[in-house]
Amino acid sequence: MEGKVISLTGNVCDIYFEDEIPKIFEALKIELEEKTIYLETQKQLDEHTVRALALGFLQDVKPGQKVKRLYSSLKTPVGEKVLGRVLNVFGEPIDEKEADFDQYEEIHKNSPSISKQSEKIKVYETGIKIIDLLAPFIMGGKVGLFGGAGVGKTVLLMEFIYKTIALYQGISIFAGVGERVREGHELYNEMIKAKVMDKTVMVFGQMNEAPGVRYLTPLTALTICEHFRDKEKKNVLLLIDNIYRFIQAGQEVSTLLGRIPSRVGYQPTLSNEIASIEERITSTKNGSITSVQAVYVPADDMTDPGVTSVFTHLDTSIILSRQRAAQGFYPAMDPLLSHSKLLDPYIVGSEHYEIAKAVKETLSKYKELQDIIAMLGIEQLSPQDRKIVMRARKLEKFLTQPFFVTQEFTGRKGKNVSLKDTILGCKKILSGEMDDVDEQSFYMIGSIDEITI
C-alpha cells in the first residue's frame, strides 16, 4: 500500500495514506532513480496523515512522491554471519564485501521482563589495574567513560575490545554514533592488526549523516547484541562511542518534529530516550550484555543535563581527568571521583574492599597535602605525612599501565594484570615493603614482581 508526500520540512515529511495509516516506528521508503530513502513514522497526525523522519536527506524528494510501507520497523541482520563485518544503521555492509546474511530482526524492542533477567552479580575482570581495583565492572552491567575531548576515551574502548576477545573469547559489538570517518577507519585497521575483527561487529552512523541515522545506530547494535545473548547464549561486550552524540541526535530529531525544548535546550523526551536503550542492556538467564559507553562531557561540566541523564543508569562510572592525562598517568582515570556500585565487601570480598579503601584514603590525603607541598615544600611535612606522600606517588605510578592497542606508538608492550596481582602490589606499597624502591620504577609496569629490589 502506498502513500504520498504532502509536505516537506528539513528532514521531516508529512505523508498521506488513503486507508490504514502506518504504526509508530514503522519503516517507510521512497524509491528514487539513484537511491532509496528510508523513513521512520514518528507521529500519527490524523486518520490519514503521518509525520515521518527521513533517515537520509530529502533534497530530491518533491510533494506528491510515492511512499511505500514496509509493515515493520527497520531490520538489521543478526547471527554468526555478521561477525567481522562493518554495517550501517540499515544493516547494509559498508566494508565492500557481499551481503550474505540470512537472519534479520527488528531494531525496536522492549527490554527483557524482570523474570527473564539474571539476579547473579559477577565481576567482569578487565586486566586494567586501576579499573579492577577501584571501579570494578559487573558482568552484564553498564559502565560510563566520562571525559572531555582528548583524554583517552576511544583508546580505552579499543583496549576493552582487545581484552574481551583475546582474554574472554567473547564477542564485541561497536556502535560508532556520530563517529568521524577517520576514527572509524583507524579503529577498523587496529582491530584487523590485533586479529580480533573476526569476533567483532561494527555499526556506524557517521557524523555527516542525517540525525535520524545517528539516533538509531545504538538500537541497531543493541539488536545484534540481544541475538547473541538470547539465541547463541553468549556474553557480549557492547561499546558505544559516543552516547552523548546519540543525545545530540535526539535533540536534532526533537527540534525537527517541532517539540518544545526542555532544560538547556535538550529534548523533553531525553530521560525516556536514554531509558529505552539502557533498559535493554542487561543479563538474562541465557547470557549477558556488558556495556561500556563513552560519554563526552561538554566543557568538562559534569552537571550538564545530557550527562546526568546517563549517570542514573550506570553501575560503574569512570571519570577521565585532563589533569592526570597531562601528568602522563594513563589510563587517565580519576581514582577519587570514579566509583562502582560493585565495590562492596559482600560482593568483591573484604580484602579487595579494604585495599581499595586504603588506596583511596592515601591518594585523598596526598591531594590535601599538595597545597602545603606547593607553598612550603615537602620538608615542612611531618615524617608520617611524608611517608603518605611517598606511598601515594608510588601508588599513582603503579596504577598506570601500558595498553596492547598503543604498543606501536609507545614502544611499550601491553600488559594484562590479574586482580590478585593488583591487590598484592597495592598491599606491598601501603605496608611500607616498597619504601626503599625509587618511585619511577613503578611507572608503566604490569605486576609488582617486575620490580627487582
Give me the mean pLDDT over the 125-149 stretch: 90
* C-alpha distances in Å from residue 408, one per residue of 69, 313, 402: 50, 36, 11
Q: Which of 181-195, 355-369, 374-388, 398-412 has the lowest mean pLDDT?
A: 181-195
φ, ψ of residue 289 to 5 degrees: the values are: -120, 115
> SS3 letters for the chain?
CEEEEEEEECCEEEEEECCCCCCCCCEEEEECCCCEEEEEEEEECCCCEEEEEECCCCCCCCCCCEEEECCCCCEEECCHHHCCCEECCCCCECCCCCCCCCCEEECCCCCCCHHHECCCCCEECCCCHHHHHHCCEECCCEEEEEECCCCCHHHHHHHHHHHHHHHHCCEEEEEEEEECHHHHHHHHHHHHHCCCHHHEEEEEEECCCCHHHHHHHHHHHHHHHHHHHHCCCCEEEEEEECHHHHHHHHHHHHHHCCCCCCHHHCCCCHHHHHHHHHCCCCEECCCEEEEEEEEECHHHCCCCHHHHHHHCCCCEEEEECHHHHHCCCCCCECCCCCEECCCCHHHHCHHHHHHHHHHHHHHHHHHHHHHHHHHHCHHHCCHHHHHHHHHHHHHHHHCCCCCHHHHHHHCCCCCCCCHHHHHHHHHHHHHCCCCCCCHHHHCCCCCHHHCCC
What's the pLDDT band for 447 if we cut at 50, 70, 90? very high
φ, ψ of residue 64 to 5 degrees: the values are: 95, -10
Give me the mean pLDDT over the 95-113 stretch: 91
Dihedral, 416, 418, 421, 422 alpha carbons, nearest 10: 80
pLDDT surpasses 80 at 452: no
pLDDT, tens digit (0-9, with 9 covering 90-100), for 238-261: 999 889 999 999 999 999 998 999
Rg (CA), the chain: 25
pLDDT surpasses 90 at 193: no
What's the pLDDT band for 154 if we cut at 50, 70, 90? confident
Pick 408 or 397 by higher pLDDT: 397
For residue 420, the model assigns a pLDDT of 95
pLDDT, tens digit (0-9, with 9 covering 90-100), for 198-211: 889 999 999 999 99
For residue 12, the model assigns a pLDDT of 94
Pick 148 or 395 by higher pLDDT: 395
Give me the mean pLDDT over the 408-433 stretch: 92
Q: Which of 41-50, 77-86, 103-112, 298-307 has the lowest mean pLDDT?
A: 298-307
Give me the mean pLDDT over the 35-39 stretch: 93
pLDDT, tens digit (0-9, with 9 covering 90-100), for 61-94: 999 999 999 999 999 999 999 999 999 999 999 9
Averaged pLDDT score across all residues of the chain: 90
The gap from C-alpha 10 to its chain's centroid, in whole angstroms, comes to 30
Give me the mean pLDDT over the 389-412 stretch: 90
CA angle 313, 184, 297 (to 5 degrees): 40
For residue 379, the model assigns a pLDDT of 83
pLDDT surpasses 90 at 302: no
Q: How far apart are CA 139 and CA 235, in angstroms?
A: 8
Pick 155 or 367 by higher pLDDT: 367
Please list the active-site residues.
Answer: 153, 179-180
pLDDT surpasses 80 at 344: yes
Q: How far apart are CA 75 and CA 241, in angstroms?
A: 22
pLDDT, tens digit (0-9, with 9 covering 90-100), for 269-284: 999 999 999 999 988 8
pLDDT surpasses 90 at 188: no
In this prediction the pTM is 0.89
For residue 150, the model assigns a pLDDT of 80
For residue 396, the model assigns a pLDDT of 95
For residue 169, the model assigns a pLDDT of 73
Residue type, 361: E
What's the pLDDT band for 453 if we cut at 50, 70, 90? low
**Residue at grid coordinates 615524617:** 383
What's the pLDDT band for 1 if we cut at 50, 70, 90? confident
